Structure 1
Amino acid sequence: MEKTRAYDIIIKPILTEKSYMMMQENKYTFKVAKDANKLEIREAIELLFNVKVVDVKTMNYKPKPKRLGRSEGYRSSWKKAIIKLADGYVIRELQGNM
């Protein structure tokens, strides 16, 4: 896999209170492309951050209806991946404020 494709798969990290708690267990959370499968996500993380991935769990989120006055619409659907790294590996770029 080339780096440009890896950047298309991994959209952005999800940094919340819960995800910071999971970082202590060596689990990291990312927003990923909706059409990416677990193998592609694993390869992209290993290529971009130079780490060893042990497990990948994915979740698909459906669009939510939203309303602002009389106009109605939907938020976009998206996909989340939780990555578990092998012992001894960390992603230092995401642990800046810990």
Structure 2
Amino acid sequence: MNAPTFNQERLMQVILAPQISEKSTMIADKYEQVAFRVVTNATKPEIKAAVELLFKVEVDSVQVVNVKGKVKRFGKISGRRKDWKKAYVALKPGQEINFAAGE
């Protein structure tokens, strides 16, 4: 099966930020997965291609979660945070993404 080709400019905008939390650190250690915040209309093949392009690693699989925005109150006014999408990217054995490379 041939890999689909994607617009390189689109791939550069798919990944917004690494998701760094206690849960994502635990998942990274236990399952060798990395969590990213991605644009809400991103697809699994796009996320895979974007991670491979940006970090020069081989991706094994991608799982996505739609995270609902929390309801927050400011006095009487009730507001809502935006919904967003999180991607758990499993890397092939021996692959690693080092976010502290700039230090």
TM-score by length of 2: 0.83
CA contact (8 A) 1:3 1:48 kept: no
| Matching residue's letter, 1:48 | L
Partner in structure 1 of residue 13 of structure 2: 8
Is 2:89 aligned against 1:83? Answer: yes
Provide the aligned C-alpha RMSD in A: 1.8
Partner in structure 1 of residue 74 of structure 2: 68
SS in 2 for 1:92: coil
Distance 2:36 2:69 in 1: 18
| Matching residue's letter, 1:80 | K
Distance 1:85 1:94 in 2: 18
Q: Please report how far the alpha carbon of residue 37 of structure 1 lies from its aligned counterpart in structure 2 after TM superposition.
A: 0.6
Distance 1:76 1:95 in 2: 31
TM-score by length of 1: 0.87
Give unmatched runs, 5+ long, in structure 1.
none
Distance 1:6 1:80 in 2: 16
Is 2:18 aligned against 1:51? Answer: no
Distance 1:30 1:82 in 2: 7
Is 2:34 aligned against 1:35? Answer: no
1:17-56 Cα distance to aligned partner (Å, 9 max, x none): 1211222232000000000010000000000000010110
Give unmatched runs, 5+ long, in structure 2.
1-5
| Matching residue's letter, 1:54 | D
